Structure 1
Amino acid sequence: MTGFRDTFPGPRLDLSVWTPAYLPAWSSRMAAAATYRLVGDGLVLTIPDEHPVWCPELHEPPLRVSAVQSGNWSGPVGSTAGQQPFLDGQTVREQQPESRGFVPLRGRIEVECRATLGPRSMFSAWMIGMEDRPERCGEICLVEVFGDAVDGDTAAVGNGLHAFRDPNLHEEFSADRRTIDVAALHRYAVDWRPDGVDFLIDDEIVRRSAQSPAYPMLLILGVFDFPDRAVPGVPDPVPELVVRSVTGTPR
């Protein structure tokens, strides 16, 4: 890949790179649109009270999400050709034109970000195949943190690989407890090589894998809210993910 860096300088999101909607083929760009703004700190993704539920008649449990993705594509309406389907035989509801804003094949990919979470929310940065062929569907997860797994100055920080329907990969993911304040800026990265993937937090290798997806992958940045986890009478902060930068460096 060629070098890539986005510090989200504004005043508008670069739509030649980012699609500001979460897997819109399964609903629509309007129904899956992110709530976001660009500020001095970078890209801010939030889920205010009025933010709608994503795919409300299909996805269980109920889920609200604000996300941007650096690539997009689908087959025609009624086809099963799309990214990360969550149901068997799921069909496209709104055809997506092909966009490859940042879809690297290997290299170092780094996301510098911080998050505000409550017990019913989470954030993640992850890479997936375009699924232009069904088997090109694996995932490299840079980071995934649930608010109910944050305890004082520690958190269970997930990373690793998900195989999904890629026959050349196997499941290799865990959320290990670490001393970290996810509300502060950290650099979550992967060093993706032909012979494996290293996972890093603030330049420290925290996981090594001998697996290596052999196809280009797009990046998704998102914050999530699970309404069914609400506790009556207990207020929850507005979930927020602030992304200062995304960097892609070829090897």
Structure 2
Amino acid sequence: MSSDPSAVERLPPPPDRAPDLDERFTGALSAERWVAHYLPHWTTPERSEARYRITPEGLELRIDEDQLDWRPEDAPLRVSNLQTGTFSGPLGSASGTHRHRDDVRVRTETPLRLLFAPSSGRVDLTVSATRDDGCMLAAWLVGTEHLSPEDSGEICVFEIDADAVAGSTVARTGVKAHHDPRMHTDMAEVTLPLDASRAHTWTVTWGSGETVIGCEGRVVRRIGQAPDYPLFLMIDLFEIGPPRGAYPKAAMIHRVQGWSFDE
């Protein structure tokens, strides 16, 4: 993000209609809008289940001291995640959303649930990133893969490591091709003139072959490609590496708004 006001590209305003997804996290977490597990088909429920609590400020994702690694094969890695749907093939198959490794197989068969899965749209996320040791807050839109295993591209709205948060913040953002031969990975680090541990809003719009990612009303990346198939939204807190430091570790999701541009 440039410090020259004349060089700032502003994000467009949100659509002039009610969001298809509008979550302020008051009361119990809605099972009609969220799955509180991280890619549950590749592991088992006690490992994929999110740790969280509802607060007056929003939903606090947590990593607790007794939390299990998400998958033994990926350890040490603990995750608390919200996502807007699920898909897997049959038990033992390699079919499912976000095949992050070639050797993954379905351990918990999950039904197809398209709670919010637009092929084009806009998402606004207001979050407070973590400063806890070894942690990262991330938000992705990932191809569901329920129509084709090639529909696996990802929009990385942001990945913010705890040790990159200070008076200014470094974040990773862009797109990842994964198993989609029609896309190419285009990721970059951006420096934001803000302390990301305080509430700030990220925006992504995608469609018609372009992805635009912004923060606090300003465009930070404009990318000449976009997935054109259904995407689940995922918001997650990771602890990467062996347990250390004080617990619980936490990050806050204050509000999520989403609009589908699908006709």
- TM-score after normalising by structure 1: 0.91
1:16-55 matched pairs, under 5 angstroms: 16-55=32-71
In the alignment, structure 1 segments of 5+ residues that lack a partner are: none
- 1:241 and 2:251 matched: yes
Task: Select 1:136's aligned residue among 151, 154, 157.
Answer: 151
- C-alpha distance after superposition, 1:31-72 (max 9, x if no partner): 21000111211111100211111102x115x10110011010
Q: Is the 8 A contact 1:115 1:239 kept in 2?
A: no
For residue 235 of structure 2, give the secondary structure of its aligned residue in structure 1. strand
For residue 116 of structure 1, give the secondary structure of its aligned residue in structure 2. coil
What is the deviation of 1:239?
2.5
For residue 31 of structure 2, give the secondary structure of its aligned residue in structure 1. coil
Task: Select 2:24's aligned residue among 1, 4, 7.
Answer: 7
- 1:111 and 2:125 matched: yes
- C-alpha distance after superposition, 1:168-225 (max 9, x if no partner): 1101011222222111111111111213011010110010011011101010011011
Q: Is the 8 A contact 2:63 2:247 kept in 1?
A: no
In the alignment, structure 2 segments of 5+ residues that lack a partner are: 1-14
Q: Distance in 1 between matches of 2:168 and 2:247?
A: 19
Task: Select 2:199's aligned residue among 180, 185, 188.
Answer: 185
Q: Distance in 2 between matches of 1:80 and 1:108?
A: 30
- 1:221 and 2:221 matched: no
- TM-score after normalising by structure 2: 0.87
Aligned residue pair count: 243
For residue 20 of structure 1, give the secondary structure of its aligned residue in structure 2. coil
What is the deviation of 1:84?
1.6
What is the match of residue 88 of structure 1?
A: 102
Q: Is the 8 A contact 1:116 1:238 kept in 2?
A: no
Q: Distance in 1 between matches of 2:181 and 2:139?
A: 23
Q: Distance in 2 between matches of 1:237 and 1:93?
A: 29
The residue type equivalent to 1:186 in the other structure is: H
Q: Distance in 1 between matches of 2:142 and 2:224?
A: 18
The residue type equivalent to 1:249 in the other structure is: W
Q: Is the 8 A contact 2:207 2:228 kept in 1?
A: no
List, as ranges, runs of 4+ consecutive aligned residues in structure 1 with deviation greater than 4 Å: none
Q: Distance in 2 between matches of 1:167 and 1:121?
A: 31
What is the deviation of 1:148?
2.3
Q: Is the 8 A contact 1:115 1:242 kept in 2?
A: yes
